[in-house]
Each structure stands twice: as structure tokens, then as C-alpha cells.
Amino acid sequence: MTLDALVMLAGAFVAVLPFLGLPNSWDTVLLFLVGMALVGLGIVLRRRLGSTLKRSSGEAFVENTPREGTHDPL
């Protein structure tokens, strides 16, 4: 299961949790645990995205400069 799917599953669980009929103390504990899991997953996903962007942007950067004789002087 991918991390994106885990985030969506946790979000669906949070949406369904109030309708499960559990005691309030259980709801509070479960919401806290799922919230902490979502924070952890968010950090992991952000680090993966950051490392992917750093690798791809460093290799593909080319500065745009006009070639000699192709620009039109005013």
C-alpha cells in the first residue's frame, strides 16, 4: 500500500469515526492516534518529495541566454 493510499484511508477513518457509536474516550484516543499517524505520513511524504525535486532540478537546469546574432537590437 502506498503512502498516499494510507493518507486517504486515515482520512476516511476520521470521517467515519463519529458514526461508529464508540464511547467518547475511545473517539478521542483514536482521533489522536490517527492524527499523529497523519502528521508522520505527511513528514515522510514531504521529505520524499523534497529529495525528488532536489535531484531532478539540479540536473535539468539550463540558463536561457540568447545566441549570438539572433537577438534584434532596438
24 phi, psi to nearest 5 deg: -60, -35
73 — pLDDT class (breaks 50, 70, 90): low
21 phi, psi to nearest 5 deg: 80, 25
Task: Domain ranges for the chain, please list them.
Answer: 3-49
Query: Residue 48 has what pLDDT?
Result: 87
Examine the pLDDT at 16 and tell me if it is beyond 80. yes
DSSP characters over 36-66:
HHHHHHHHHHHHHHHHHHHHHHHHH-----P
The model's pLDDT over 28-69, given as tens digits with 9 standing for 90+, comes to: 999 999 999 999 999 998 888 877 666 655 555 567 766 676
Query: Residue 49 has what pLDDT?
Result: 82
Between 69 and 22, whose confidence is greater?
22
Residue keyed to cell 473517539: 27
